[in-house]
Structure 1
């Protein structure tokens, strides 16, 4: 197991933490963070050593993402989207599917892969798309539609996305492909400068308009039927996404817990003269936070190991993955709430790190699987599908 401190040393994290406040305040992209991460090989963590990467396993990268998120949650969330695509490519390659070999090679060469799946009002997510995918004579595809929450908008070089090829109407297919950044210069990709949000501001996850943007034949990687189905690409996207999203919010929870502990040792009650760390109510509150947090890293580690080694959880896989993401997000929000109560009124000021964590952690509820989808998935796993009437 790689030592996270060796890859993300404390002095590096402190630089990220100092810059995080600036990027949050000024609503800017963390270019300096990205440069430092690139220099230490972070973009190719999941790329096999045979392809020029670090060859880390998913569990090791999940732990690193937790550590990075303790310093700069938005930076961790932004780089997450690139890591998701490399993780998908790695999972497929480990199973003998080389459709995304170019992603591993590109990441090792410095390419940045972004996630172009989300669409306004499309709660089908991976199982449907409002973006039109039109097949070209050479086997490539032209995509027309609007993607939202396109993280890494200022810097991506390849945009992984999906769209619907309605064909003749009898056999529609969801098409997965990658667009080169050159399509923006060609006028077929337009990125709005519209990212002005409550939290996670440094991700700069801007809206992307596609106007017949062309993915060449070699970058069209899958045609699958709409709706839930067991295609390995769809499963890989869902599984890596849920694990690494859970990791970012677990990192937020850890930082909030650490800040609460520090505040408890620093504050003294005027009423009793005792340190807050000796106050039974504060001790109970922090213990409750720690108990909730302690459940997250082991489950992320266990699911990561199962994904890496090909454990077959069958129909339970989707409920386990949706569940760990939902649990991480809701637990992190609860821990941040409690940390603010321990810290007191100073945490209400925008300059306070807990104030930023409070705003950042809210973003978690909007990532798939959202609370409704997660509960529906888990209910179906345990109760079976709803009986038609």
Structure 2
């Protein structure tokens, strides 16, 4: 198959990154048939997940002093795109886990003792994390609205957690959850609670039934009077203060966008292989049709531009401290990258569908799954409207802050 290489090719990346990409690509390819079956059944591809864990992929962003691979955001973006070419659902679920560790490994938002506890959990066999923030009534807390899930006092340094979270990616495989909740002690505070999914009062309701990303098995998680020790309340702040902070972190926006870049690559590769080998009526190749050649050129140009955008955004984010006010300078870069990549991915998949034609619509076709999965891209935070609002905010309301690469540390380092 003629694969799209792009900026993740062997000549473009350092050996440690190449090794991580190879793990993602080789294991993804080995489990590709299972990925198709899991898409049909709506179950998690646990065999691939286990192999990724055994290969060290799930600890790739854990800092080296903590026993992990210490890979950068840019390296994770490339590896996630490679994995998503074969199994987008698994790439998305693993991406949520990497987000939790990456935020703390590189952003250091929690108290050091609690951060070390997270890293200790991450080193345990079977460790898998996710942030549970979305709720049935609230939806995704795009601006960190106060959730209905509550954490109420239950004696000295003890709490009770109650509520329901939806869109809990990989719910049945999670070892721990970071739960976004309102503090019910008369304050206006909100908090994050780190707790094992085996805790009393935690249950899963199998609600996941969607057209795309079916094998993420993102069921509802219910907390019914779940006891929480005080030290597991890992981050607490005033709701009013929280809403004034940047609404996204690069460790969520970019690895998620990379998944959709991988879906688009997979669709492109399938369409190109089809065009090169298909000869209707034993005549000319589909590849010789002028319109097909135009669509192919369009796909590759858009993929190269999207890949460049996400890697520049990852490089800029890697040079900024998330706790620093400088993060405001890269917020529009992250928003733009997520918007550009997910929008591009949809256009590329649609172009691939046009090249292949009616065969792409058959159930079980690789392109049919790409078509369904890629539609989820704009839904993830920041959605298109929020991304555009972040860009408009910097253009119209914060004129003193340079926008784009010039406003980030990347420009100053390389200038």
Return the TM-score normalized by structure 2: 0.84
How many Å apart are 1:136 and its aligned residue? Answer: 3.5
Q: In 2 relative to 1, CA 222–62 (structure 1 residues): closer, same or farther, beyond 3 Å?
A: same
Contact 2:253 2:334 in 1 (8 A): yes
How many Å apart are 1:154 and its aligned residue? Answer: 1.1
Match of 2:3 in 1: none
Written as runs of structure 1 = structure 2, the 5 A alignment for 1:263-282 is: 263-270=274-281, 273-282=283-292
List per-residue Cα deviations over 1:210-255 (Å, max 9, x = no partner). 2222332222111122257488xx7696321101101111111111
Q: In 2 relative to 1, CA 261–90 (structure 1 residues): closer, same or farther, beyond 3 Å?
A: same
1:249 aligns with 2:266: no
Structure 2: distance between partners of 1:32 and 1:376: 40
Written as runs of structure 1 = structure 2, the 5 A alignment for 1:237-316 is: 238-270=249-281, 273-310=283-320, 313-316=326-329
**One of 162, 165, 170 as aligned partner of 1:144:** 162
Match of 2:39 in 1: 24
1:55 aligns with 2:73: no
List per-residue Cα deviations over 1:112-145 (Å, max 9, x = no partner). 1122011134254452222112133333432222
Written as runs of structure 1 = structure 2, the 5 A alignment for 1:76-95 is: 76-93=91-108
**One of 130, 135, 144 as aligned partner of 2:153:** 135
**One of 211, 215, 231 as aligned partner of 2:224:** 211
How many Å apart are 1:276 and its aligned residue? Answer: 2.1
**One of 377, 384, 387 as aligned partner of 2:397:** 384
List per-residue Cα deviations over 1:280-331 (Å, max 9, x = no partner). 2111111111111112222222222222222775534332222221222111
Structure 2: distance between partners of 1:67 and 1:175: 34
Match of 2:380 in 1: 367
Which deviates more from structure 2 when the two are superposed, residues 142-151 or residues 294-303?
294-303
Contact 1:99 1:221 in 2 (8 A): yes
Structure 2: distance between partners of 1:252 and 1:98: 39
Contact 1:4 1:63 in 2 (8 A): no
Q: What value does the CA root-mean-square deviation take over the aligned residues?
A: 2.4
**One of 351, 354, 369 as aligned partner of 1:356:** 369
- How many residue pairs align between the two structures? 377
Match of 1:178 in 2: 194
Report SS of the residue matched to 1:71: coil
How many Å apart are 1:21 and its aligned residue? Answer: 0.5
**One of 142, 156, 162 as aligned partner of 2:174:** 156
How many Å apart are 1:189 and its aligned residue? Answer: 1.5
Q: Which runs of 5+ in 2 are unaligned?
A: 1-13, 399-415
Report SS of the residue matched to 1:146: strand
Return the TM-score normalized by structure 1: 0.89
How many Å apart are 1:94 and its aligned residue? Answer: 9.6
Contact 1:189 1:213 in 2 (8 A): yes
Report SS of the residue matched to 2:83: helix
Q: In 2 relative to 1, CA 95–193 (structure 1 residues): closer, same or farther, beyond 3 Å?
A: closer
Contact 1:140 1:217 in 2 (8 A): yes
Match of 2:18 in 1: 4
Match of 2:133 in 1: 117
Contact 1:117 1:125 in 2 (8 A): no
How many Å apart are 1:5 and its aligned residue? Answer: 5.1
How many Å apart are 1:260 and its aligned residue? Answer: 1.5
Q: In 2 relative to 1, CA 94–131 (structure 1 residues): closer, same or farther, beyond 3 Å?
A: closer
Q: In 2 relative to 1, CA 337–305 (structure 1 residues): closer, same or farther, beyond 3 Å?
A: same
1:346 aligns with 2:359: yes
Q: Which runs of 5+ in 1 are unaligned?
A: none
Contact 2:134 2:141 in 1 (8 A): no
Report SS of the residue matched to 2:177: strand
Report SS of the residue matched to 1:175: strand
How many Å apart are 1:22 and its aligned residue? Answer: 0.6
